[in-house]
Structure 1
Amino acid sequence: MMNLLNLKTCTRGALALSLSASMLACGDDGPQENTEPELLPQTISEDMVLTDIVPDPSLPDYVVTESVTLRATLRVDPGVNVQFSRTTRLTVDGENGGALDSRGSQDKPIKFTGEDKAKGAWDGIHFVSSTSSQNNLRWTIVEFAGDDAFRDGLRAANLSLDAGSTLFISNSTIRESARYGIEVTPDSALTGFSQNTFEGNFDYAMRLPAEEVGKIDRNSTFSGSTFEAGVETYGGNITSSATWKPLSNDAPIAVTDTVVVQDRLDLEPGTRILFDEFIGMTIDGENGGVLVSLGTEADNVLMSRLGDVVWKGLYLDGVDSNQSRMEYTTIEYAGFSEYDDTPKANLTIGGATGTSTMVVLDSTFAYSQGAGIAIAPGSTVNEDVEEVNSFVDNAAADVIFP
């Protein structure tokens, strides 16, 4: 195991003093604070602890000049500053036992940073097949990374969870990435997520599968991104109950590929979901999917377009549940194409796998390329749907009944 104390010796006459480099160094004028960082090895194959050896928090305790691979658990103590040279990265190799346990504190956060204080100064931290319960980022700052993608198929990011990796992240700051803040691959997962801060990232703060969006808490903050901050989901199936919540600063949840809901999905007041061109959301009732979208008069749920495009719309496919409900929800700029021979619309209530039912109250359907609402044969909606909802400039009828 690497010796983290790096003992140094100075002589005063016949007296020899051995002092820890984490506290003192020797000079002509007597003991002085240490300012010399340690160099991390390229491969860490035995469990290691990084301690705060340089008292000045603005200076690095450890430097990385060649990329480092963890094949054991690396524990990082509060206050540690690790500085990376250009084109370097930290890889957490789970197949060979790698784990990263970074637990700072509010007054002594841990920092992973670049030698150059600019976006893209290093590649970032890449978790690969690492499912250790010791994977933690708490009171940790990861900044100035995102220079290059960790592999083909990934985006550049400060932090990437890949190949089934898991991570608990709380009270941490992900900032100033040249691309994304965090990317999570479809088979990876956040085991905990709370009170994190995303700021100054060039692209979205997070890129993750739809299954993970519900883990984002109300107390995390999103700001400063070129793409309105916020979170990008590249779609996929939601197979366990989830709640999508409004992000801070009105940041959106951007949907760039189709989402299929196969359990209950709740949308809280103020949630903003923006869909890319041709993309939609299907509530798959045959596999247990239910949508409960409950905004308020002052704070509607919004489902709209991402940029100046037309998205496909919201589709209830065989949702025969008395939980299926929509109130104070605005759906606009959809109706790109039809679902299962039902006329195109912002909201389609029907199903290739069975009929659907939904209660729709106090909601707005606007600027559709087709109808506001289309109801397939055999499906049902509250009888007063036309009277209790608002319809604005839809290309076809406000409501198309079977």
Structure 2
Amino acid sequence: MDLMDSNGNILSSTAAKNLVSTTGQSSYTFDSTVNQTLNMTWSSWKGTTPLWIGLRYVTSKNQEVRVGLASIAAYQVSLSPTISSSLFPNTTVIKGTGTMPGDTITADADSSAKATVGSDLSYTLNLSSALGSKSNVTVTESDNNGHTGTVTKPVQSALTIAATTPKFNLVPSDAANLASQSDASVLAWLVQQGGVTATDPNSSSSNGITYATKTTGLGGILGGLAIGSSTTINVYATNSAGNTSNPVALTVTRMPGTLSFQTVTSAVDFGSQTIPLTETIYQPTSAFNVSISDTRDAGKNWYVYASAPALTAGSQQFKGNLIYRNSSTQQALNAGMTLIASGSKASGTTNTTVTSDWSSTKGIMLDALPGIYAGSYSTTVNWTLADTPN
């Protein structure tokens, strides 16, 4: 009897036992008391094909015939190493687990480095140099019989980068302002708008981290965006050690811009006054503060109007009105919308305080007439902001 592969090749490492000592027999009955131990060197099989237990016999014509009696299915050893370490450009030690104690661990990052899987299945592979610019590391486990298994893990950037607002809008005023600025200034604006931050896993400090992009002519790109169109700019971080993060994508969309009130005083008081014997103009005890935000293109016009119904104290109507006064001219606010201020969008400016030049001769005041009934009078000033004259 012998051990054979599927092709009849003898794999036994020990001499076969002769079960039939005579010649010329046409049949043979196996005796259950006859035992034979067959030895085999593993490397001669490796489990790659079925293993047969078979007989060899010589025919009357002196031809050797090999007959398989039973087979053992092909057996493949599965080696499944792992990498437990986090991998960075400055990593010099890789740790993980192997499948069988005594197996050899190597890595494509350093052909000279080798480690042995311990009894607890762990390994520590010491590299001769840091991983540097490698993007992935493959660790291979191998045994004495030629079986291998691999695992691959990516090398993380030594710097991590993220953006809290990776997509944001660009209004005309910012586009016009950025168009003439340097790439460094525009990049700083992008980082601020996107909420970009970078951290170094190997350091608790952000000192030495700067931001960069491979895109040039940033001002021209943003300034030239059409309304409704977008552009994406990749920003990455670097540190003083020369490490670079993966890029974070910032998408900027050009919007048409807006015109809106930024600040409107919620309440203004004229204090307690003596009922006048003649028509009297009173100043407010606290100043009006009205400002607008304009992110449209430079040169666009704006107009601020105000109106107010008559002042009342319950059912009693105030004798007089809120007025808008400008030097020697004045207009009652209860007569309809009164133009308070107008102007045009200035380049490089988004906020305008409409009431900045109000004084004792300019602004909203109280025109009181004789014969007022004592009381606490109030009204509501309605403000209107428009981009065309009324």
TM norm structure 2: 0.21
Larger relative contact order (C-alpha < 8 A, sep ≥ 6)?
Answer: 2
Select the structure that is richer in strand.
1
